[in-house]
Structure 1
C-alpha cells in the first residue's frame, strides 16, 4: 500500500512538473523578422505588442521578438509561424506569395500615390477579403503594417529613366510581380533574402537593390557600395504581421482577444513610427555620401508607362476579377 501511495505521488508530481513546463512553454510567444532592432516594426512589436500582451493577459503570455533574421530567412520564418513552431512573423507581403498568391495583386507598380490611400484599401473590405485566405493556410493576420515606398539604389550610375536599368543586376525579393516589373525595365533581377543582401551588394554579386529608406538605412546599404538612390517609389509595400492560427485558437477566448487587440494597437503605432521616421532615414542615407536623384513628373510617367504591361501579367496569373476588384478599391480610396 505504501508503495502504491508513493507511486501515485510520483505520478502526480510528474504530471504537475509536465503541466508547469507546458504552460511555461506556451506562455512565450516567439515572433521572427528580418528587420533590424531599430526598424519601426521591431520597435512596435517590442514597445507595444509585447507590453500590451503581457498587460492584457495579466502576464499569462509574454512576447519574445527575434529580429535580424535570428530565426532564419523570411520564407523559413513564415513556415515556422504557419506550422506553429513559432507564434508569429512580421515580414514583407512578398514573402507570403507562396501561401497566399492573391496578396501579390497589391504589389503592382505605381498603384498607390500615398500611404493614406494604401491603408484605406488594406483596412477596408479588400484587406478583410485577404484575411480568410491567410487563415486557410494556418495564419491569422493581426495587422498590415507599413514597409513603405520602395526606391532603387545602385553602385553604377544615377537612374533617371527606364533605360538606365538596362543590364543592371538588381536584388529583389522572391516576388513574381516585382520580378516581372524589373524584367520589363530591362534589368537583370536576382532573388536574394534580406539576410544575404548586404554581402551580395558588397561583393558585387548584384549592382542594385530596391527598398524603402528605412531598410536602406537599417541595413546600412550605403556601406555596401550603394552610391546612388532614386526616389522611384515604384511599389508601396506592407509588412504582414501574421500568427499561427493553431496557437491562437488554443488560447482562451479572453487571451485570444487580448492578443488580437495588442496586434491592432501595435499596427497603428508602427504606421505612426514609419511615417515619422521616413525623412530622418533619408537624411541619414544622404549624410553617408549617397547621391539622390529626384524624378520629375515626366520621368516618373516614363517608368509608369514602361511597367504598365505588368497589369496583364498579373491578370493572367491571379485573375482579371481580382485585379479589377483591387483597382476599384484603390480608386474608391482616393
Structure 2
C-alpha cells in the first residue's frame, strides 16, 4: 500500500507539471515585427533590441520575431502601415516617411530644413507636436509606443559636388514613394525618381539615376560609394524618426501588465538606439571619407539658399499636414 501511495503521489506531481507546461505553452505568444532594414543597420538593431527586452522581461512568455527587408509586404515598404492596421503585421519599427501616405501628419518630418539639429528633433518628438503625431497614428488603428531614429538624411550623387540648388539642376535623384519628396526635389530643379530601396542600388550602379538621399548609416553600411556615389553633401535637410508600434488587434489581446511591459521595452530600445546612432555618426563619416568620397559641408549661407529654394513646399504641404501641428513643431524648435 505504501508503494502504491507513493506511485499515486508521483503520478499526481507529473500530471501537475504537465498542466503547468501546457499552461505556459498556451500563454507563450510570438508576434511578428516588420522593419525595412536588417540589424546591420541601426533601424534593424532597434527592432532586435525591442525583441530582446520583451523576451527577457516576460520570461519568454512573449517573443517578437523580427522580419527585416520588408519581407512581410513583399519588399514594398510603403504598405507596412496598412498591413499592420489590417492585422497582417503584428508590430513594426517603421519610418515616418514610409507611413506618411496613410498618416498625413507624418509628413511633418519630411518638410525640408524644418529641424536644424538633434536638439530640434528631440524638442518636436518629445513635446506637444510629438503627442499630436502619436494621436494621429492611433486614430488610424495602430498604437504608437516610442520613438527611434534613422538620422538626418544626406544627399549623394555621381556627377560632382553639390553646394547650391543649381548644382541639382536636371539630376535624376532616387526618392522614396512620398509626393512631398517629389515636390522638394522638383523645387530644387532636380528630376526625382521614385523607387523602392531594393531597386535603388542597381539603378545607381548602372547610372539609371544620378543620386540618392539617405542617412549616413545607410550610406556607410550599404556601401553606396560602390554604386558610383562619390560625392556626398551633408545638408541635414530632414530627419526621419522611427516609430515603435503595435496593431490595434494585438494591443487588445495584451493584458494591462503586458502592454506596459511591451511599451517600456520599446521606449528603452528606442533610447538605446538613438544614443547609439548619434554616437556612431562621426565615425561613419570618417569611414566614408576614407573610401575616397568627397564630402561637402554647407555653411550657413549655402544652407539658406536651399531653404529659400524649397519654401514653396511649406505652402503646399502645411494644409495637408495640419497648420496647428506645423506651428506646434516650429514653436518647439524655436524654444529648444
- TM-score surpassing 0.5? yes
Partner of 2:189: 186
Contact 2:37-2:69 at 8 Å conserved across structures: yes
Which one of 315, 327, 332 corresponds to residue 324 of structure 1? 327
Partner of 1:220: 223
- Per-residue CA distance 1:174-225 (angstroms, 9 max, x = gap): 2222221111000011111122211121122211001110111122111111
Contact 1:149-1:235 at 8 Å conserved across structures: yes
Structure 2 unaligned runs (5+)? Answer: 1-18
SS of the residue corresponding to residue 36 of structure 1 reads: coil
- Per-residue CA distance 1:138-180 (angstroms, 9 max, x = gap): 2111222111111110011111110000000001112222221
Matches within 5 A, 1:230-249: 230-249=233-252
- Per-residue CA distance 1:102-131 (angstroms, 9 max, x = gap): 111222111112112211211112111111
Partner of 1:302: 305
Which one of 33, 36, 39 corresponds to residue 34 of structure 1? 36
Partner of 2:55: 54
SS of the residue corresponding to residue 148 of structure 2 reads: strand
Matches within 5 A, 1:11-90: 23=26, 27-46=29-48, 48-71=49-72, 72-90=75-93
Partner of 1:130: 133
Task: Calculate the TM-score normalised by the size of structure 1.
Answer: 0.88
| In structure 2, C-alpha distance between the alignment counterparts of 1:33 and 1:103, rounded to whole Å | 17
Task: Calculate the TM-score normalised by the size of structure 2.
Answer: 0.87
| In structure 1, C-alpha distance between the alignment counterparts of 2:249 and 2:71, rounded to whole Å | 23
Partner of 2:122: 119
Structure 1 unaligned runs (5+)? Answer: 1-15
Q: Which moved more, 1:158-167 or 1:315-324?
A: 315-324
CA-CA distance at 1:137 after TM superposition: 1.5
| In structure 2, C-alpha distance between the alignment counterparts of 1:105 and 1:86, rounded to whole Å | 25
- Per-residue CA distance 1:20-77 (angstroms, 9 max, x = gap): 89948x711211112232212322322x312221122221111111223333321233
Contact 2:201-2:224 at 8 Å conserved across structures: yes
SS of the residue corresponding to residue 109 of structure 2 reads: helix
CA-CA distance at 1:82 after TM superposition: 1.8
Contact 1:36-1:219 at 8 Å conserved across structures: no
Distance 1:305 1:255, change over 3 A: same
| In structure 1, C-alpha distance between the alignment counterparts of 2:64 and 2:312, rounded to whole Å | 44
Which one of 186, 198, 217 corresponds to residue 201 of structure 2? 198
SS of the residue corresponding to residue 280 of structure 2 reads: helix
Matched residues, number: 314
Contact 1:108-1:310 at 8 Å conserved across structures: yes
- Per-residue CA distance 1:218-253 (angstroms, 9 max, x = gap): 221111111110111111221122221210221122
Contact 1:69-1:195 at 8 Å conserved across structures: no
| In structure 1, C-alpha distance between the alignment counterparts of 2:161 and 2:145, rounded to whole Å | 39
CA RMSD of aligned residues (A): 2.1
User: Does residue 280 of structure 2 align to residue 282 of structure 1?
Assistant: no
| In structure 2, C-alpha distance between the alignment counterparts of 1:92 and 1:197, rounded to whole Å | 17
Q: Which moved more, 1:113-122 or 1:270-279?
A: 113-122
